[in-house]
Structure 1
Amino acid sequence: METVLLLVHLIVAVCLIGIVLLQRSEGGGLGMGGGGGAVTGRAAATAMTKLTWLFGTVFLVNSVILTVLSAQNATGSSVIDLLPDDGAVEAPVVPSGESLLPPTPGDAPLTPPRSE
């Protein structure tokens, strides 16, 4: 079920991106331009706008359903449960404090003088 919803979600997302990119620009983005845009009393309910609303609504509802399903499937499980039970997991080796310090100038390799 979750795989089918993820596939539907992907298809709806691609369709939503495509339908938004196909719409014509009205020049009113972020208040720039002089097209009037949302200030005018005209309600532009074209087929593209209706499809945008439809895809957006399906995307939102599908997102909520996927979130609920994911939360239900995640209860009581942990990544620790995936570890083998045979005790083969060892703790990592912690380096000594001296190996974490930067090298001193005396530790630099000796280089022969340049001959020019």
Structure 2
Amino acid sequence: MFIFLTVLQALVGALLVGVILVQKSEGGGLGVGGSPSGFMSARGAANFLTRATAGLATVFVLLSIVLAALAVNMSGGSSVDTSLQRTAVPVPAASAPAAVAPSAAPAPVDPLAGAAKR
């Protein structure tokens, strides 16, 4: 059932993309000629494509909600995996390293200091 609805949603999504791409940005529809009162006139095509877009979008959203509900029910496992969980171990104050004085730090070494001499 889940796979069937997923395939159906993919088909509805492809049809929705196709219907949207066929429309003109000004709302002129297919822009085909014909009588003004005909079904596929510019105005009739715009109305048809607008209604088709609204219908396909509604079906797409409803399928998304149904698939999300089915996916929650299919997962079943609601426990959290704690296999990688680590606990913090407090460090005693006596074993903490002492602060290093800035004068005790070694001077930086230039790795290219003797490279220029040949």
TM-score of the two chains, using structure 2 as the length reference: 0.51
Which structure's residues are more often helix, by fraction? 1
In structure 1, the residue matched to 2:65 is 64
The one-letter code sitting in structure 1 at the alignment partner of 2:14 is V
Structure 2, unmatched stretches of 5+, are 28-44, 87-105
Q: 1:60 Cα deviation (Å)?
A: 0.9
Q: Highest CA radius of gyration, 1 or 2? A: 2
In structure 2, the residue matched to 1:97 is none
Q: 1:66 Cα deviation (Å)?
A: 0.4
- 1:36-91 CA-partner distances (Å, limit 9, x unpaired): xxxxxxxx9621112111211110110111011011112334574xx9xxxxx9x9
**Cα pair distance change 1:78/1:8, threshold 3 Å:** farther
Structure 2 matches for 1:13-24, cutoff 5 A? 13-24=13-24
Structure 1, unmatched stretches of 5+, are 28-43, 84-88, 92-103
Contact 2:23 2:46 in 1 (8 A): no
**Percent of aligned positions with the same letter in both sequences?**
31
Greater mean deviation of Cα atoms: 61-70 or 44-53: 44-53
- Higher RCO structure, 1 or 2 (CA under 8 Å, sep 6+): 1
In structure 2, the residue matched to 1:113 is 115
- 1:1-47 CA-partner distances (Å, limit 9, x unpaired): 111111111111121112111101128xxxxxxxxxxxxxxxx9621
TM-score of the two chains, using structure 1 as the length reference: 0.52
In structure 2, the residue matched to 1:26 is 26
User: May I ask how many residue pairs the two structures share in their alignment?
Assistant: 80
In structure 1, the residue matched to 2:10 is 10
Q: 1:105 Cα deviation (Å)?
A: 7.2
C-alpha separation in 2, matches of 1:105 and 1:14: 66
In structure 1, the residue corresponding to 2:6 is in which secondary structure? helix
C-alpha separation in 1, matches of 2:107 and 2:17: 58
